[in-house]
Structure 1
Amino acid sequence: MQNSVLIEIKNRVALLTLNRPEKLNALNYLTNDRLLELLDQIENNDDIGAVILTGAGDRAFSAGGDIHEFTASIKEGVDVAVREFCKRGQTMTARLESYPKPILAAVNGIAFGGGCEITEAVHLAVASDQAEFAKPEINIGIPPTFGGTQRLPRLAGRKRALELLLTGDRFSAQRAYELGLVNKVVPHDKLLPAAFELAERILRHSPLAASRIISAVTRGINTTIEEGLLIEREQFARMAATQDVLEGLDAWIARRAPIYQGA
């Protein structure tokens, strides 16, 4: 389990690598659980301000759920399959989506099924020009199970999402960019440097403010505008009581760079 997701810390950024290259970094239950375990550890580490998630090897970010493993769960019955496979995957992507520190995907290869759903869930994503995406679950007779029927339509629009969900067709990194699934596409050998550069641009700012922004967007996007504005006001009120606000204002007035706690 320890080796299913690798961790390396560099300049306040935790690089998490899905590490099953021989299986195209398929998300078996141990990998899923290990990823959640590491996210818990990182959340409580004030020396880490952001996370980059990528895949081992040159072929895949993640090919999705481990089909052999969840086939066995399905054969044990619906209750087992829902608990062991579906709920586990949804818990993981929900954790990524609502994580209080910025999470960036560096999509280095194929991102099918659950790999695509991770990309949908994280806050930001950079894709290699060699990356390829797909929603192939329909090919094995199931709908997406890690949130893909919900997040992709919110990102790409209902009709464009349904075309991908109902055909299972592959699509390019450039198409993923056009659909709003990734923030940028870069040459393959520039992928991690581009992801770290984006993370560093975020880490210049207050980590508390970043967390409040993530919370407001994640919670507000699925509500009415009125409810979303209440959430925004709540997050501002939480932020206004912190030392980071005073430091940011004082630094702006003094025309100096702010020094934030934990930054």
Structure 2
Amino acid sequence: MTDTILLEQQGAIALLTINRPEKLNALNYEANDLILKHLDEIEKNDALRAVVITGAGDRAFSAGGDIHEFAESIKAGPDIAVREFCRRGQRMTGRLEAYSKPIIAAVNGLAYGGGCEITEAVHLAVASETALFAKPEINIGIPPTFGGTQRLPRLAGRKRALELLLTGDSFTAVRAYELGLVNAVVSPDKVLEAAFEMAERILRHSPHAAARILSAVTRGLNTSIAEGLSIECEQFARMAVTPDVHEGLNAWIERRAPNYDRVQGKYEVRQL
């Protein structure tokens, strides 16, 4: 393993950087595996409460999968290509989507293919005004493979997603904002700052409540409203037995800011 993915700790925030700027931060197999490895490490570290993911340099967030690498898998046959390329990428984006801590993409340049699919999968995203997005897989004769045929229609709507998927045309950060792919568009020099500022706004609150919200939204999104409401009740019940709830309620009654750090270690998850 190399420094294909950098992991830094900045206070309570973990910064993951896709570090292949000479390849426009293309996602080779090592990068996919290292993202998963680092996410496991971050999840076990209670001091880290949010994640920002970005790309090295000022040209690209990620230009997508490493074509030279996955082309060899395709040449080896569909079974190997599905195992080595498709499922590997889907594991990574699925992990990002279902992660228990907030993940914010700081899209600092090109977000093509797999880079766009990471943006679709994470919970929140900030993009540079100069960022450019695309679903270009059709240009090389394949559909998206890291979840793009499924997540983009859910974010943008079927017809708008299909236009991007079937043409392969690039689109701007402003268009990505209009489609619901990113939360904010900022100047290029403010992308990381804006992502960290968004993370800090989340960190004011109970980390366990944030985890319950993430779980309820992710699990409920593709269910019926009745099933979703049941999931919501389940997540509420898991929080109702924790010290965080009492700290939050007491702080509100006492007109003070809650201090969730002092109740850490007293948290207990009740399986329902």
Shorter-chain TM-score tier: over 0.9
The code of the aligned residue for 1:220 comes to G
1:99-143: CA deviation from partner (whole Å, max 9, x where unpaired): 000000000000000000000000000000010000000000000
Q: TM-score, normalised by structure 1?
A: 0.99
The code of the aligned residue for 2:39 comes to L
Mapped to 2, the partners of 1:73 and 1:241 lie a distance apart of 49
1:68-110: CA deviation from partner (whole Å, max 9, x where unpaired): 0000001111110000000000000000000000000000000
Matches within 5 A, 1:111-260: 111-260=111-260
Is 1:103 the counterpart of 2:103 in the alignment? yes
Query: Runs in 1 of length 4+ with deviation above 2 angstroms?
Result: none
Unaligned runs of 5+ in 2: 266-272
SS at match of 1:104: strand
Partner of 1:31: 31
Partner of 1:7: 7
The code of the aligned residue for 1:236 comes to F
Deviation of the 1:192 alpha carbon: 0.8
Mapped to 1, the partners of 2:182 and 2:8 lie a distance apart of 23
The code of the aligned residue for 1:150 comes to Q
Mapped to 2, the partners of 1:11 and 1:129 lie a distance apart of 27
Q: TM-score, normalised by structure 2?
A: 0.96
Partner of 1:53: 53
CA contact (8 A) 1:2 1:34 kept: no
Mapped to 2, the partners of 1:54 and 1:192 lie a distance apart of 8
- What do you get for the CA RMSD once the two structures are aligned? 0.9
Mapped to 2, the partners of 1:63 and 1:166 lie a distance apart of 18
Deviation of the 1:8 alpha carbon: 1.2
Deviation of the 1:11 alpha carbon: 1.8
Unaligned runs of 5+ in 1: none
SS at match of 1:80: helix
1:39-90: CA deviation from partner (whole Å, max 9, x where unpaired): 0000000000000000001100000000000000011111100000000000
Mapped to 2, the partners of 1:199 and 1:130 lie a distance apart of 22
Mapped to 1, the partners of 2:193 and 2:92 lie a distance apart of 26
Mapped to 1, the partners of 2:191 and 2:115 lie a distance apart of 17
SS at match of 1:150: helix
How many equivalent pairs are there? 263
SS at match of 1:257: coil
CA contact (8 A) 1:206 1:244 kept: yes
1:11-31: CA deviation from partner (whole Å, max 9, x where unpaired): 200010000000000000000
SS at match of 1:61: strand
Deviation of the 1:160 alpha carbon: 0.1
Mapped to 1, the partners of 2:2 and 2:230 lie a distance apart of 42
SS at match of 2:105: strand
Fraction of identical pairs, as percent: 75
Mapped to 1, the partners of 2:8 and 2:75 lie a distance apart of 38
CA contact (8 A) 1:213 1:235 kept: yes
Deviation of the 1:2 alpha carbon: 3.3
